[in-house]
Structure 1
Amino acid sequence: MDSFPILTALFLMTAATWLISFRRRKSLPPGPTPLPIFGNMLQLGSKPYETFAELSKQYGSLMSIQLGSVYTVVVSSPEMAKEILLKHAEVFSSRNKVQALEECDHNQNSMGFLPMGDKWRDMRKISTEHIYSRQSMERSQELRKEKLQQLLDHAQKCFEEGRALDFTEASFITSTNVMSAILYSKQDTEFDSTATKEFRETVYIAGTVHGLPNYADYFPILRPFDPQGVKRLAKVYLGRVLGQMEGHLRERIQIKNQNPNGPKKNDFVEMVVDSLQAKDNKLTLESYTHLMMDLYTGASVMNTGGMERIMKELISHPDKMAKLKAELKSVMGDEKVVDDSKMSKLPYLQAVVKEAMRFYPPIVLVNRQAESDLVVNGYLIPKGTRVLINLWGMGRDSNIWDNPLLFEPERFLDQKIDFKGQDYKLIPFGSGKRICPAMSFSSWVMHTLPATLIHNFNWKLEPQDASDKEAKGMWNGLPTGMAPPLKIVPYKE
């Protein structure tokens, strides 16, 4: 049998496939040459956002990166971020899936990772209406002031005893106790408690485990082996926090079943139980359990780092600390707890928080995934592409900001820039339909918690805390390990 026609056909098919692949590569955004199998993984290190920022200087604000088998485009300018998050929001509405979230079916129930369907909309609507709306924030105002007063009492105790305040733990306790009271009318943590320190580690890992570097996410052949133990870690810590949330729900269901006409509590769980019994939406007990965990870990984990940076930068810049203290004194007077209703009269405090969000965004890489092929700025972004918006890099880019490596809150005093998703130079909470729903809560705690402490005391770093301390690194935009706590000493002149 003559094999020439068959060989000719195979050659033509191979040539056509290569030509299509070559043309497709030519139409992709530029980027560093990937290695076989590993792609550009070996270049990244523990802080990929820093590597991305450096590479973008050479390859531009839309850059191709190959991470194992995952083709990725890194966005490094406000203009391109706006293209992705606003102009083409529907195409980039989903987020890439990671193996850790498969444990406990969190990938199928987490508001942060669900596709924008009915279930996501129901969860978003419920959390906004009952936790984060302006009306809900107003209803919880006295509760939040009470928790800030408890923080202030603890700081006073530290002052009287001549010891440092563990600011990291204090921030966690205050945020957590506010959210636990809103969710189920209980206080989960206490100051100076060994149990609280252990609990904080559990909540921290549950809230950030999906950000851990996991080779199985980039090399599918490794998925069954879980080589770094990330999946096993997720199973343990997600399971613990989900178990706690489910316990609160089932406890309230039991109480209501035993006494259906009993007094109602004004909290989130009461609404959930009423909704489950009335069957007025499609969310199940499991869905609500995962939603509560998202709300809980979001409040207690994601804000602490930003507040640490605010305190540390102000302590390191006495002139800016003095400026803020003067503003707080003029507006708050003898009131001890900084009230968020006075925020419009505290422009320098707002500027300090904006500057901290620019310099230290809580999530350094905003994560999206392309749902279909799309041409952006003349380049093809294929369906399934992982898109990372490098907020860390944008915040330190001299083409975007003057003197970006200096902590200068004053830069915001003469600019009407906010972080609510409209100014793409400053989007620490993202933008568009998937903007972080907890922005109002985060904004409150970022402004009022540090300000309350600053208004009532002077502060200095504990001697052994003078060195810069960071988490072990970041991956997927989240911390990959707990940093040593920030300890600061209160004093009065």
Structure 2
Amino acid sequence: MEKPSLSLLLQVVLLLFILYRIFGRYCGHKSSKLPPGPYQYPIVGNMFQLSGIMHSTLAKLSKTYGPLMSIKVLNRTMIIVSSPKVAKELLQKYDHLYTSRLVLDSARAFDHHKFSVVWLPINSKWRNHRKLCKEQLFSSERLNASQGLRQEKVQQLCNYVHGCCINGEVVDIGEATFTTMVNIVSSTFFSVDFGCYESNSSQELKENILGVLDTLAKLNLSDFFPVLRAIDPQGIRRQTKFYFGKLLQMFDEIIRQRLQEREKSLAYCRRNDLLEVLLDLIQQHKTEWSIKDAKHLFLDLFQAAFDTISSTMEWAMAELLRNPDKMEKAKTEIREIIGHRKLIQDSDISALPYLRAIVKEALRLYPPASTMSRYYEADVEIDQYIVPKNTLVLVNLWAIGRDSSVWSNPDSFVPERFLDSEIDVKGHHFELLPFSTGRRICVGMPLAERMIHLILASLIHNFDWKLEEGMKPEDIGMREKLGITMQKAAPLKAIPIRATM
């Protein structure tokens, strides 16, 4: 499908601007009460000032206009928060007025927004989804019980890397981590591995997940002018529907087979997985859960596993390869605690403060989601400025993580800054909110924390690493990929060497 030209899109925008003015639906606010911001051009607002990577562009503007700033894109006013102090006042003081986040038109494919724990407003259905995730997936009891499964999958990762050692092959860190997480998630949900390190079996799954993330990141006119949803002028929702369809079809087939086994087999052997739990709940009519709810939950969780864990692992390893002294410091700490034991357990992580500092520092510099959005059901007053109700508020987590008034050498990778600090990533410290905060805090944070530490520690402990021939640490590309999540533009590849214990 050919993409519409820029001139055509501008003509559409102009027409809609005129129609909104005629019918009194153009969204505007009293500028005297709004926070300061750059000059807003007619019709387009600040649209053409926001090219490139959104979070870094907004951070640059905030240095001129302050940590509470207003901008406008087409017909939508946005409030940008870029400091932990303002974020704390807004997110803590007015959490009771928080209603929902912006539902992108692309997320409406297959009515995903009506079932997704990510996109649902805070209502009974959303609470039901969150409760099930907390109790059946991410409670301490459940995670402790599934520790053996995670260790098995991490051991498979180490076996693959060991094979690369023997053959002198390069390891794509992001790809290998993705396969590990795919297998952990698919085994937890369905008692089956979806990925294989030695083949491209998980490649289609990754392409579909990346396709979803890419379409969600695109500027969509339908998000600014809901009247356009019916025609989807850029085809973005149709693209999302294609990728959603592939993933939902896969889940549908697995669920169908499981239901057939449960109904027809007299010697049916129950699995200890999430699908078994959900089917029990659905068939016993004990909750509002349906097969459709289950499929959309799987869709959310597969995306989250890729977003958070795979990307954070890749950024952390990239920084360690760029800073060999910090890699060696981490390796020494792990060896002092673990000794000659190859298998690292969840319980070991609390005894590895430098490893935990590395993860915090990676999340500070590269939060999985660079911004988080909020809507409030009433006007909110901050520093004598008004955030009008139903205005999109974006908290720039990337900018907060690099605020020079909070962090010394904010753009440098310095894990040591966290060694004597009480700051954690659990949503209580507004200087570091990689998993969000409040009622919308990432429900999968307990698993993400365990897996990032476990995989990173295993790769550091069991292997030494060198770059490909001719590469120096400073040659590692650290540019971000344009998208809704924080991903490396260039894959991180390195050659493993069997570590001497």
TM-score (norm 1): 0.91
1:221 Cα offset (Å): 5.6
1:229 Cα offset (Å): 2.9
What's 1:129 paired with? Answer: 135
- Does the C-alpha gap of structure 1 residues 276 and 207 become closer, same or farther in structure 2, counting only changes over 3 Å? farther
SS of equivalent to 1:132 = coil
State the one-letter code of the partner of 2:485: L
What's 1:478 paired with? Answer: 485
- Does the C-alpha gap of structure 1 residues 122 and 201 become closer, same or farther in structure 2, counting only changes over 3 Å? same
Bigger Cα displacement from structure 2, 417-426 vs 461-470: 461-470
What's 1:35 paired with? Answer: 41
> Which residue of 283, 286, 296 corresponds with 1:280?
286
What's 1:198 paired with? Answer: 204
1:429 and 1:258 map into 2 onto residues whose CA distance is 43
Q: Aligned-pair RMSD on alpha carbons?
A: 2.0
What's 1:259 paired with? Answer: 265
Write out per-residue CA displacement over residues 30-52 of structure 1, whole angstroms, 9 at most, x where no aligned residue.
11111111111100112111111
> Which residue of 235, 241, 250 corresponds with 1:235?
241
Write out per-residue CA displacement over residues 34-91 of structure 1, whole angstroms, 9 at most, x where no aligned residue.
1111111100112111111111112111110101111110011112211222211122
What's 2:404 paired with? Answer: 398
What's 1:415 paired with? Answer: 421
State the one-letter code of the partner of 2:162: Q
SS of equivalent to 2:31 = helix
What's 1:363 paired with? Answer: 369
1:347 and 1:260 map into 2 onto residues whose CA distance is 52
State the one-letter code of the partner of 1:473: L
1:245 and 1:273 map into 2 onto residues whose CA distance is 13
SS of equivalent to 1:25 = coil
2:70 and 2:98 map into 1 onto residues whose CA distance is 16
Write out per-residue CA displacement over residues 430-479 of structure 1, whole angstroms, 9 at most, x where no aligned residue.
000110001111111211112101101111222487441544313xx425
Bigger Cα displacement from structure 2, 383-392 vs 294-303: 294-303
1:265 and 1:201 map into 2 onto residues whose CA distance is 29
Bigger Cα displacement from structure 2, 80-89 vs 185-194: 80-89
1:66 and 1:55 map into 2 onto residues whose CA distance is 13
1:299 Cα offset (Å): 1.3
1:394 and 1:260 map into 2 onto residues whose CA distance is 58
Instruction: Specify every segment of 5 or more residues in structure 1 that has no aligned partner in the other structure, as ranges.
Output: 1-16
1:423 and 1:340 map into 2 onto residues whose CA distance is 24
What's 2:437 paired with? Answer: 431
1:261 Cα offset (Å): 6.7
1:29 Cα offset (Å): 1.1
1:288-437 to 2 correspondences below 5 Å: 288-437=294-443
Equivalent residues of 1:203, 1:301 under 8 A apart: no
- Does the C-alpha gap of structure 1 residues 210 and 456 become closer, same or farther in structure 2, counting only changes over 3 Å? same
> Which residue of 270, 282, 301 corresponds with 2:276?
270
State the one-letter code of the partner of 1:64: S
- Does the C-alpha gap of structure 1 residues 161 and 44 become closer, same or farther in structure 2, counting only changes over 3 Å? same
SS of equivalent to 2:98 = coil
1:435 and 1:408 map into 2 onto residues whose CA distance is 26
State the one-letter code of the partner of 1:49: H
> Which residue of 100, 108, 112 corresponds with 1:102?
108
2:467 and 2:211 map into 1 onto residues whose CA distance is 27
1:220 Cα offset (Å): 4.2
1:218 Cα offset (Å): 2.8
State the one-letter code of the partner of 2:250: Q
Is 1:183 aligned to residue 189 of structure 2?
A: yes
1:389 and 1:134 map into 2 onto residues whose CA distance is 29
Equivalent residues of 1:340, 1:448 under 8 A apart: yes
State the one-letter code of the partner of 2:481: K
2:237 and 2:34 map into 1 onto residues whose CA distance is 33
1:367 Cα offset (Å): 1.3
1:203 Cα offset (Å): 2.2
Equivalent residues of 2:179, 2:195 under 8 A apart: yes
2:337 and 2:317 map into 1 onto residues whose CA distance is 20
- Identity within the alignment, %: 39
What's 2:19 paired with? Answer: none
Write out per-residue CA displacement over residues 399-458 of structure 1, whole angstroms, 9 at most, x where no aligned residue.
111110111000000111100000110010000011000111111121111210110111
1:482 Cα offset (Å): 7.5
- Does the C-alpha gap of structure 1 residues 369 and 463 become closer, same or farther in structure 2, counting only changes over 3 Å? farther
Instruction: Specify every segment of 5 or more residues in structure 2 that has no aligned partner in the other structure, as ranges.
Output: 1-23
Bigger Cα displacement from structure 2, 65-74 vs 81-90: 81-90
Number of matched pairs: 471
Equivalent residues of 2:315, 2:488 under 8 A apart: no
1:335 Cα offset (Å): 1.7
- Does the C-alpha gap of structure 1 residues 238 and 126 become closer, same or farther in structure 2, counting only changes over 3 Å? same
Bigger Cα displacement from structure 2, 38-47 vs 206-215: 206-215
Equivalent residues of 1:119, 1:283 under 8 A apart: no
- Does the C-alpha gap of structure 1 residues 471 and 245 become closer, same or farther in structure 2, counting only changes over 3 Å? farther
1:55-74 to 2 correspondences below 5 Å: 55-74=61-80
Equivalent residues of 1:176, 1:189 under 8 A apart: yes
Is 1:489 aligned to residue 500 of structure 2?
A: no
State the one-letter code of the partner of 1:160: I
What's 1:10 paired with? Answer: none
2:131 and 2:350 map into 1 onto residues whose CA distance is 27
1:260 Cα offset (Å): 6.4
> Which residue of 198, 208, 218 corresponds with 1:212?
218
1:302 Cα offset (Å): 2.8
Bigger Cα displacement from structure 2, 28-37 vs 296-305: 296-305
- Does the C-alpha gap of structure 1 residues 309 and 59 become closer, same or farther in structure 2, counting only changes over 3 Å? same
Write out per-residue CA displacement over residues 131-186 of structure 1, whole angstroms, 9 at most, x where no aligned residue.
11111110110000000000000000000001111111100000110010000100
- Does the C-alpha gap of structure 1 residues 253 and 87 become closer, same or farther in structure 2, counting only changes over 3 Å? same
Equivalent residues of 1:172, 1:304 under 8 A apart: yes
State the one-letter code of the partner of 1:441: L
TM-score (norm 2): 0.90
SS of equivalent to 1:338 = coil
State the one-letter code of the partner of 1:212: K
